[in-house]
Every structure is written in C-alpha cells, then in structure tokens.
Amino acid sequence: MAVYGSTPDDIARAAGILRAGGLVAFPTETVYGLGADARSARAMERLFTAKGRPADHPVIVHLARAGAVTVWAREVPAPAWALAARFWPGPLTLVLKRAPGVLDAVTGGQDTVGLRIPGHPVALALLEAFGGGLAAPSANRFGRVSPTTAGHVTTEMGSAVDAVVDGGPCAVGLESTILDLSGEIPRLLRPGAVSADALAEVIGSPVAGRAVGGTRTPGGLPSHYAPDTPVLLVAAAALDAAVRARTARNEPVAVLSIGPPAGDVQHVRWETMPADPREYGRVLYARLREIDRWACCCVLIERPPAEMAWEAVRDRLERAAGEGRVDPP
C-alpha cells in the first residue's frame, strides 16, 4: 500500500488510482474512509472484498458539492437542502431516494442512497480531482473500530488497499450522523457530531429515533465498532468494585474512566478519558486500538453521562459492548 501526503501531486496520483478502479483510503473529519468509484461495479466489488463486508449493506457516497446531490438522489426534499446548506461540508449523511442508475452495490439493493460532503480539505481536494462520487465506508474490516489515523488504515488493511492519503488524525473521531429523509418523517439512523436537536432546529420539526430492527445498516447491528478485547460498560459507582473483582483473580484489566484512577491499580492499565464529550469521541477509537495491544481479559469502560451531548459516544460504546454490556457485579 502506497502512503501519500496531501500535496497536489499526491492528490492527483490518488485520484488517478480511483479513476482506474482502485481503492484509496483518505482522511475525513470523522474517520478515514476507504474510497472507490461509486459508478464502477468492479471497484465496488473490490471495496466489499477488502472490507469483508456483506453485499447487502449500503455505503455512503461522498461528494464535493451539494449540487451533485440531484445526480444521486431522485427526490431532494426541502429539509435536505436546508441541512446541506447548514452542515455541509461536515459530519452529516443524508439518506434520500436514489436516482436511477445508482449501483445496487452502493445502496445495498435498497431504494435509498446515503450522501455526504466531508469537512476535510484533503477529502475535498481528492473529490474535486476525482470528479465524481466516491463510495467510502470507514477504512476498517467489517464490524471493527473505524480508523482515525493513516497508520490505523495501513495496519488494518495492508495490501488490500492501493494507497492511503495521510491527512493527520481525524478531528471528530466518530462516524457521521446519519439522517434518513426518504420516509414520511425524518429519522436518525446513527447519532454523531451533528446532534438530533441541531437537526430538528433546522428542519423545524422533531427527528424520530432509530426504528427497532429497521433498515440494513451495519451501524445498526448491536455488535459493531468493536475492538477484539471484550468491552464491559460499568456505572461510575460500580467501577472500583468491578476492577477489584478482576485484579483479585490476577486478571490484567484495562479501564477507561472519565474520573481519576482508583488508589490501587496493580494489574490495571488505566486510561483517564476526556471529560468533554467531543474530546472523548475524538480519541476513543485510538484508545480502543491501543487496548487491543495490551492483551487484557477485558476493558471496563465507565458509562458516560446520560446527557444529549454524549449521545454519539454512548451509542458507540454500547455497540462495542454488544451483548456484554450488562454491568458486572
């Protein structure tokens, strides 16, 4: 895998690989995406193989300009334009009714397509140079934690990818908010940096939550975004006891807490996480990747506050914990 910087030459070369049907990972403000020409069935096939992703899961098409939305969506309701004007380029994906000709590989065979303009200068330069829509799921293997540095991509994807454009660590660190505008009412499919409240304010009406057992979004599977190390979410008040229960059995345990470490921390890899939800989201995936290198029995993660500002972090932590999310005794 070639590693490129972000000079005009680098961008031109990366765009050339994409035009030839290759796979190029690139930075966005949320996480690194694995880009492929969304109009090329062959490139899409390579993309799904590289990710190990089931064919019926849709991918987001990344665009350089809001005007291109009408190329990919056959109906663009007024709220979509208002949200695009307010939040693009930025961490918001809109799901709209797909235009004729959009590949089934992009939509997962559904009648909708996910679109976003990423808020990262390198991503925008690459999209401009490429000149079309880039399908770009997070540049990780299916079900795993999204990469937030170019190094994460090279470690995880290796030779399955032709090149990665290094644009430094991602500023947001969690995947985009996904809003489905293809139905009767706007529905939040995945919380992210753009909050449900911020969306509702622009639309002028409330945004519904996720339908239980709804659309085929991988982000909608309970055990997604998971590290190899089992994750247990623990209430702040129960954290000390949970740690001691394990260290008493000589099990090396990792802890991510917002508060400071407890007094006796032998056999414990204790990481204090930022108390600000945006900062926490920015560093979370890199921390989870580090923990996988420590060979701990599990990672105990303090449950974040139940406030709206923590919604995206809470969502990813609950998915990472999957079925193991019950507080241990």
Judged by CB under 6 A, the residue of 40, 93, 149, 229 near ligand TXA is 93
Question: Least CB distance from residue 242 to ligand TXA, whole Å?
Answer: 31
Examine residue 27 and tell whether it contacts ligand TXA (CB under 6 A): no
136 is a contact residue toward ligand TXA (CB under 6 A): yes
Q: Judge whether 299 and 232 are in contact, CB under 8 Å.
A: yes
Compute the least distance from the CB of residue 50 to Mg ion, in Å: 13
| Interface with ligand TXA (CB under 6 A), residue from 64, 69, 113, 284 | 113
State in angstroms the smallest separation of the CB of 14 from ligand TXA: 15
Helix axes 311-321, 277-292, angle to 10 degrees: 20
Give the nearer residue to Mg ion in terms of CB position, either 138 or 229: 138
Omega prior to 89 cis, within 30 of 0: yes
**Cβ at position 51, least distance to Mg ion in Å:** 8
Phi and psi torsions of 66, nearest 5°: -65, -30
Is 191 an interacting residue with respect to ligand TXA (CB under 6 A)? no
Long-range contacts of 209-213, Cβ-Cβ distance < 8 Å, separation of 24 or more: 211/187
> In the bound complex, what is the minimum distance in angstroms from residue 2's beta carbon to ligand TXA?
19
d(CA 90, CA 327): 35
- 61, 190, 253, 269, 294 from 137: Cα distances, Å: 9, 14, 32, 32, 28
**Choosing among Mg ion, ligand TXA, none, which partner's interface includes residue 30 (Cβ < 5 to 8 Å by kind)?**
ligand TXA
CB atoms within 10 A of CB 107: 20
User: Following CA atoms 218, 222, 159, 295 in sequence, which dihedral angle do they give, to the nearest 10 degrees?
Assistant: 170
Residue ranges in 159-178 that form contacts with ligand TXA under rule CB under 6 A: 175-176, 178
Asked whether position 58 contacts ligand TXA by CB under 6 A, the answer is yes
Entry field: residues in the chain: 329
Can you tell me which of 89, 119, 132, 137 binds ligand TXA, judged by CB under 6 A? 137
The residue ranges that bind ligand TXA (CB under 6 A) are 28, 30-31, 33, 57-60, 93, 95, 107, 110, 112-114, 118, 136-138, 175-176, 178, 189, 215, 217-219
